[in-house]
Amino acid sequence: MWISVALETDAAHAEALSEALLAAGAISVAVEDAQAGTELETPQFGEPGSPATPLWAQSRLIALFEPAEDLRSRLAAAVREGGLEELPAISFEEVAEQDWVRLSHSQFEPIQISERLWIVPSWHAAPDPAAINLVLDPGLAFGTGSHPTTRLCLEWLEANVVPGSSVLDYGCGSGILALAALKLGAGDALGVDIDPAALAAAAENAARNGVSLRLAPSSAPLEERFDFVVANILTNPLKLLAPLLAGRLKPGGALALSGVLESQADEVIAAYAPYLPLSVGAAREGWVRLEGRR
């Protein structure tokens, strides 16, 4: 058994507190946006137009420890070492010892997107060998086909991609959208992501599916234009990326955005209004897909 410890701090103390927790015996420490999934979420680092902040203004640290009687005192010492004057609220959760590989595999079953398109984890046999089967292993990247926003984008690609067309998947994660476009007949696809682990996972998935997928980091210049641009990220990065994503469309090209809550749709539509009109094309479980054509 392990103990997962969660606490919040500001950007000025997050790095020092992480190091102090590791010095206090933490096996690992993860830092995430404490406001993720809300209207106060902060864009990912390195996105074009995003501020150069070292960490999120309000960061959540999640540290994993072995059980110990002196854990609370070690945490208090780590908080002091991290420069905090007061002990923040701390939550504890027991994490049972498990076969994590088997557990993660059990969480992902083949997913039928439509009559002809399936997402099949690499450790499963295809339920319908005659269908278009996208074989996928997300690795450390987002994108298994199970999230509503991913399904919304997959459904849009299936309805719109035509043979020989070009596709940009911005924030590609596991590569699921770009690879689906290629399997659906696109002649060329480029996946862009800020995370090297995502690009590595996407490259491996391309090899699994026997398709040629171009990949590039988000820091690389992007000048070419595409018939279709799809981005499944988060609202704030999508707003900052409006000139870039709209500018990558060929005349007559189509854009689809997801990762947007229904309550956030209007602000994303407003951000893209100077470049092209967007409207809600579909909704699923509180999330929407925004669509537009140049």
pLDDT, averaged per 10 consecutive residues of the chain (294 residues), comes to 91 91 92 78 53 69 92 94 90 72 57 87 82 76 71 95 97 94 96 92 93 96 97 93 97 96 96 97 95 95
**Residues spanned by CATH 3.30.70.120 within the chain?**
2-97
Q: Are 204 and 139 in contact (CB under 8 A)?
A: yes
User: How many other CB atoms are found less than 10 A from the CB of residue 54?
Assistant: 10
Instruction: Give the per-residue pLDDT at 110.
Output: 84
Instruction: Give the per-residue pLDDT at 99.
Output: 47
**Residues spanned by CATH 3.40.50.150 within the chain?**
102-293
First vs last C-alpha separation in the chain? 54
Taking alpha carbons only, the member of 166, 165, 164, 214 closest to residue 193 is 214
Instruction: Give the per-residue pLDDT at 33.
Output: 87
Tokens 């106060």 — which residue?
A: 40
What CATH number labels 2-97? Answer: 3.30.70.120
**H or E segment at 232?**
strand 226-232
Tokens 């539509």 — which residue?
A: 269
Q: pTM score > 0.75 for this model?
A: no
User: How many other CB atoms are found less than 10 A from the CB of residue 4?
Assistant: 15
Question: In this structure, are strands 287-293 and 279-284 parallel, antiparallel, or unpaired?
Answer: antiparallel
Q: How far apart are CA 78 and CA 16, in angstroms?
A: 9
Instruction: Give the per-residue pLDDT at 125.
Output: 85
What CATH number labels 102-293? Answer: 3.40.50.150
